Amino acid sequence: MGSLPHIIEDCMGVLQLFSDGSIFRSKNIDFKMPIVNDTSILFRDYLFDKTHNLHLRLYKPTSMLPSNKKLPILFFIHGGGFCVGSRLWPNCHNCCLRLASGLNALVVAPDYRLAPEHRLPAAMEDGISAMQWLQAQAMRSENGSDAWLSSDEINFEQVFVMGDSSGGNIAHHLAVRFGAGSSGLAPVRVRGYILLAPFFGGVARTKSEEGPSEHLLNLEILDRIGWCVQLVTWLHSP
């Protein structure tokens, strides 16, 4: 009779990897920040991938721009080492509120499948799927199918993709996938990609890793997240 599965990696209790390859991901996280209540911004959730039950959240300013101007679009891809995170987390939600308000833009915040249950490149594929969802909305917008995404108010030719940490890694792969000018997304046009502390793992330490560790995301935690992804990928390999 074999022994019961035991924890072999524990990432702050949020993500636990067991010896049999099974995963525990906590849904009861004690966030140390309140959710911002900004009445100048409306937000709404959409299902963009029915197959994988993936949603995204749109943030739209309540105040209208002058009649000759349209809202640019900012894609914001959350971080979390590919293993944790959600558009619903306070840090992501609050950030998107501030971006929509400060930039007077439509912010699109997609979720993506998380490792190690969903092996990479699942997250990159979901980023592509979210961009293609926006393309489909742009094609329908002229028919007035959704007031939130009307071409009268939204400028689908002024799109920027921003990613934080692992989201920055996904943004990088989107840039490689769609290329300069993003012609494959027409009528959507991506004008630029913004990588915020992008998470690129490797054997050798990068220059940024050699500096002082952050209080929360120190090198030990980042190494554990990377190790969890690699270990479960190996455990689940054919």
Residue 232 has a pLDDT of 46
- Do 75 and 130 form a contact (C-beta atoms < 8 A)? yes
Closest by CA position to 71, among listed 16, 147, 183? 147
16-75 pLDDT tens trace: 888 887 888 887 777 777 888 888 999 999 999 999 999 999 999 998 666 678 999 999
Give the pLDDT confidence score for residue 137 in this predicted structure: 94
Q: pLDDT category, 238, cuts 50, 70, 90? A: very low
Q: Which helix (H) or strand (E) holds 134?
A: helix 122-141
| Per-residue confidence (pLDDT) for residue 114, from 0 to 100 | 93
pTM: 0.85
Q: What is the mean pLDDT of the chain?
A: 85
What integer is the mean pLDDT of 171-183?
A: 93
- Domains along the chain with CATH numbers: 34-198 (3.40.50.1820)
The mean pLDDT value for 184-208 works out to 85
Whole-number Å distance between alpha carbons of 82 and 119: 9
